Amino acid sequence: MQPSAVPDLAHTRTRPVHWLATAAAMAGVMALAGLFQPDGATANQPDRRATTAAPDPADVRLPLECPGTAAVVTGKAIGDLDGDGGQETVVTARCDAGSGSPPGGIYVLNRADDDRPRVVATLLTPKDGAGVSDLAVRDGAVRATLLGYSSPSVPACCPDKEEQVSWKWRGGVFVRTVQGESDTAAM
């Protein structure tokens, strides 16, 4: 028996032009693959608070002690104070004294993990003795005008001192700035 003749297969011999064509085809595939990449994966979950409404002060018990009278919300401002995309509510409140200018407090409301509103910071308490006007949230800061008295002889109806203040979230605390003074941390 004679060995079978193997036909001459010219296309099985590699030449430099074959390697060059293969390399060019691979480079083209890699370039196209780079254009059609999926978005990068992250371990972070989207912040659900960014899609929920700002907390309503009517749904929160404010830390005010008003024996014999009710607490009254006198102002409200909404904005993102901590840069997480969610809206916080800032409220001013005081005891309903009926007359005079009772001192007030400034409270920051946010949502807990179970989506219920809660007080997360007290920026000013009634014990500080100041009234509050012109509450606003601008550029991620709480801004307010504090009203006070220069002496005990000034009538309670008519505060005669004004102080422009702001609080900005920095390093895990609200930092208070008084117009013309340096920063002080408050929580």
At 170 the pLDDT is 92
**Inter-residue contact 57 to 73 (CB < 8 Å):** yes
Number of domains within the chain = 1
Q: Is residue 145 included in any domain, yes or no?
A: yes
Q: What does the alpha-carbon distance between residue 79 and residue 167 come to, in Å, rounded to a whole number?
A: 13
Q: Is residue 173 included in any domain, yes or no?
A: yes
At 185 the pLDDT is 47
At 169 the pLDDT is 93
Q: How many CB atoms lie within 10 A of CB 23?
A: 10
Containing structural domain, residue 137: 48-186
Instruction: Tell me the whole-structure pTM to 2 decimals.
Output: 0.68
Q: Is residue 116 included in any domain, yes or no?
A: yes
**Inter-residue contact 64 to 105 (CB < 8 Å):** yes
Q: Is residue 80 included in any domain, yes or no?
A: yes
Q: Is residue 83 included in any domain, yes or no?
A: yes
Instruction: Please identify every stretch of the chain with a pLDDT value under 50, giving residue numbers as ranges.
Output: 41-46, 48-49, 182-187
At 121 the pLDDT is 94
At 93 the pLDDT is 94
Q: Is residue 39 included in any domain, yes or no?
A: no
At 44 the pLDDT is 46
Q: How many CB atoms lie within 10 A of CB 106?
A: 26
Q: Is residue 17 included in any domain, yes or no?
A: no
Q: What does the alpha-carbon distance between residue 93 and residue 126 come to, in Å, rounded to a whole number?
A: 9
Q: Is residue 25 included in any domain, yes or no?
A: no
Q: What does the alpha-carbon distance between residue 136 and residue 143 come to, in Å, rounded to a whole number?
A: 5
